Amino acid sequence: MSRQKKRIDGEVYQVTPFQGREAFKIQMKLARLIAPLVGLMAGMFSGMDLKKIEKLSELDIDIDGESLSKVLDALFSKYSDEELLDLLILLFEKVEKGEDDKKIFITAEAFDTIFAQNLVTAFKVAFFVIQVNYPDFFGLAALIGKETTEING
């Protein structure tokens, strides 16, 4: 179980993979979150060859207001703010930000400071955690990963 590093929005994040039971529990939570949305989102990606897309900006998705409204309604009506935040914090449990002797774990308290006014980065880091732990779980995570710079080592 090797750690993986990635530079995301100018900062280095290091992810240690989850242990077996922990990985299973988190995967089930992710599945319960995403499964209801898959059917609603499927039409947006039909006819696309995602393997040929190099960057998220190359995605040509026709998202009309009604489709987006249905996806967001399904997500927010099923889960409270606290449930979604708890899942995000759980994903960050084995994530360190920084390099060398300046690394810090992303705890609930650190989350408030690290991602203040930069929640988009929090979601990018969450996708990286999913990539490390569940490489085939969410196809678009690979595209988000291409938007960041991989660090060898």
- Provide the residue range defining the domain that includes 74: 4-150
Task: Give the least confident one: 64-78, 114-128, 135-149.
Answer: 135-149
Coil/strand/helix, residue 8:
strand
Report residue 22's pLDDT band, with 50, 70 and 90 as the boundaries: very high
Residue written as tokens 């609603």? 40
pLDDT of 89 reads 93
Per-residue pLDDT tens over the stretch 92-101:
999 999 988 8
CB 94 within 8 A of CB 85: no
Residue listed under structure tokens 């308290």 = 109
Mean pLDDT of all residues in 83-111: 91
Tally the domains of the chain.
Answer: 1
* Interacting residues of 104 by C-beta distance below 8 A, sequence separation 6+: 96, 97, 98, 110
